Amino acid sequence: MTSLEHLPILSADDVERALTRSQAAAALTRALRAGLEPSKDLQRSVLEVTGGQLLLMPSAGASAVGLKTVTLAAGNPSRGLPRIQGAYLLFGAETLELRAIMDGIAVTNLRTPAVSVAATAPLLTRFTRPIELVVFGAGPQAVGHVDALRAVDSVELADVTYVVRHPGRARAQLPPHATVVAADSADVAARLGRAQVVVCATSARTPLFDSAQLTDGTVVIAVGSHEPEARELDGPLMARAAVVVEDVRTALHQAGDVVLAIREGHLHADDLVPMADVVRGTRTLPPDRTAVFKSVGMSWQDLVVAEELVEQHQRGT
């Protein structure tokens, strides 16, 4: 029987204190360069339950096994509760003893921007002047991506614009003095035309903008959807861009931006570039070609970050 007496139990605050996004990105980069193969990750499961959905994300590595359990209850906001909740369990690889429990949403909020940074850091070196960044969304992932990009050594942010549907509501959860533009404003097109980097972190199911507004060489990060029928980016963008994904097979099943673009004839499966190839330097992308990193989130990423979290937490205690 597992004893909880000395078991590390990390709250959301503990997770935030233990590991920065830069440290998480570095851990993910090391894991991929050491030979971790995303294509061998265990498959996630989505189960329908009375109150909503139960998402199970297992992963097994050389030194640890992990399981993230996330619940999605659409009716919770009316009860004053979060719509998404979760926990992460970390086990030893050989004995399978429980090593730690941590807040699952905090792990997700940490690892998603870290994955984006690990995947795009080699691409961001193409910019020789301060970057104008446009972010669609105002939630934790939107803000987290801004913080993560700001911490990249090769990146200097000249300006950050948040594009949202409800500016008044969004300002309450954004940093003071943040530039906020309504999604239906004519100013959005001009800001996209000046942007070097665009982040999409929304729950949108249809494209957020007309990609013709982007200049060649822009880097686009899309993390908002993991369903095959939902997208944030339009087909023409996927046609002109080099499209980087965490894993080709996973993207073909879960990334609506990819699935729908292929269905429409804008993209072919053979065009997809595995993230590991970019991180390892075995594949370089032309700096004058627009690049898209499409992320759906994978279990191996949670496991890498969870292991690093526990190590850093124990060092600090």
CA 219, CA 154: separation in Å to the nearest integer? 14
CA 275 to CA 292: how far, in whole Å? 11
- pLDDT computed for residue 244 by the predictor: 98
CATH for 113-298 (3.40.50.720, 3.90.1150.10, 2.60.40.420, 3.20.20.70): 3.40.50.720
Q: What is the pLDDT of residue 177?
A: 86
What is d(CA 281, CA 153) in angstroms, rounded to the nearest whole number? 18
CA atoms within 13 A on the CB side of 170: 23
pLDDT below 50 — which residues of the chain? none
Q: Where are the domains of the chain?
A: 9-108+300-316, 113-298
Which superfamily is assigned to 9-108+300-316 in CATH? ornithine cyclodeaminase, domain 1 (3.30.1780.10)
Structure token pair of residue 149: 């990009």
